[in-house]
Amino acid sequence: MSLLITTSLRSGDLLDHYRLERLVASGGMASVFRATDTKTGRPVAVKIPHPDKAGNGPVLGRFHSEIEIGRKLNHPGLVKVLPNDGASQRYAVMEWVEGRLLREIIDEQWNLPIERAIRITLSICDALEYVHAHGVVHRDLKPENVMVDAEDNIKILDFGIARETRGNLWNRAVRQEAMGSPGYASPEQIKGKRSDARGDVYSLALMLFEMLTGEVPFSGLDPLTAMNLRVLVDAPSPCEINPAISPRLQSIVHCALARDPAKRYASARKFASDLSATLAEEHRAQPLESFANF
């Protein structure tokens, strides 16, 4: 897949003391290069806003939000934003993470083994619990924003539209982009209401549903119809798509996907607690020989 290049910088260029090696991602706001810090020799990711966004206040606010949140938070499940004092232009430097996006893994495998899907979800829950405990809500969780390494350790990416729950620093900068990605937005986000930690739980539950079944609820419909159905109709039962899903796991997914936030898991920790118990049951029920290739 070719990437849309919307920056004048190219592979081989030197940006301050960072040697740009290759373009690895390009979206509506910025381009991301793998680079080498010539002072330390270590690989880093350099995220550079597109030049045509220089006068776009909300976009730049989102970019600065990601940097500020990245500097505030320190958890193995989050991509670390590195200090970059004295930069000659606006850009962010982050740790380089080896691995694959969860989106690539799902697209390749369709539905993941149940134990693996639960373990990845538990790792994301752990990172989310830390994020929420520090007063931040991600608001844009999706498979494209989770990196998975060879040991299934995860890193959550892109805090550009995150919001601080105990203040208005991030809320002020990104209020126009509050809904996040339509395919994984919670019902309250779709309705334009304030989203808290339970919104992240909902988005993560959609990701778990997709890891278990290869599709999200109401898959195949146009995005607007799918969003409306998520507001009006309960999600279908995942076991109808994957009969190997146990009734207990199905009930957990349904709770996390409750349309009413008050009926949803109140925290990532509570979601993880039930998933951990189910994982233990799945492990006991699995024949020993089936673990040979796990």
Helix (H, G, I), strand (E, B) or coil at 83: coil
> Which of 48-52, 100-104, 206-210, 244-248 comes out lowest in average pLDDT?
48-52
> Which of 60-74, 125-139, 141-155 comes out lowest in average pLDDT?
60-74
What pLDDT is stored for residue 53 in this prediction? 73
pLDDT band at 244 (very low <50, low <70, confident <90, very high): very high
Q: Tell me the percentage of the chain whose pLDDT exceeds 70.
A: 86
Residue 46: both structure tokens together = 């350099």
pLDDT over 90 at 6, yes or no: no
Q: Where in the chain is the domain with CATH 3.30.200.20?
A: 14-95
Q: CA 66 → CA 33, 179, 206, distances in Å? A: 17, 16, 23
Q: Which of 77-91, 107-121, 167-181 has the highest mean pLDDT?
A: 107-121
pLDDT band at 3 (very low <50, low <70, confident <90, very high): very low
- Over the stretch 247-273, which tens digit does the pLDDT of each residue have? 999 999 999 999 999 999 999 999 999
What is the CATH code for 14-95? 3.30.200.20
What pLDDT is stored for residue 18 in this prediction? 97
Q: Where in the chain is the domain with CATH 1.10.510.10?
A: 100-291
- Over the stretch 63-77, which tens digit does the pLDDT of each residue have? 888 888 888 899 999
For 196, which DSSP code?
-
Q: Whole-angstrom Cα distance, residue 282 to residue 214? A: 19
Catalytic residues: 140
What pLDDT is stored for residue 102 in this prediction? 97
**Whole-number average pLDDT of the chain:** 86
pLDDT over 70 at 189, yes or no: yes
pLDDT over 70 at 169, yes or no: no
CATH of 100-291, picked from 1.10.3720.10, 3.40.50.300, 1.10.510.10, 1.10.8.100, is: 1.10.510.10
Q: Tell me the percentage of the chain whose pLDDT exceeds 90.
A: 65
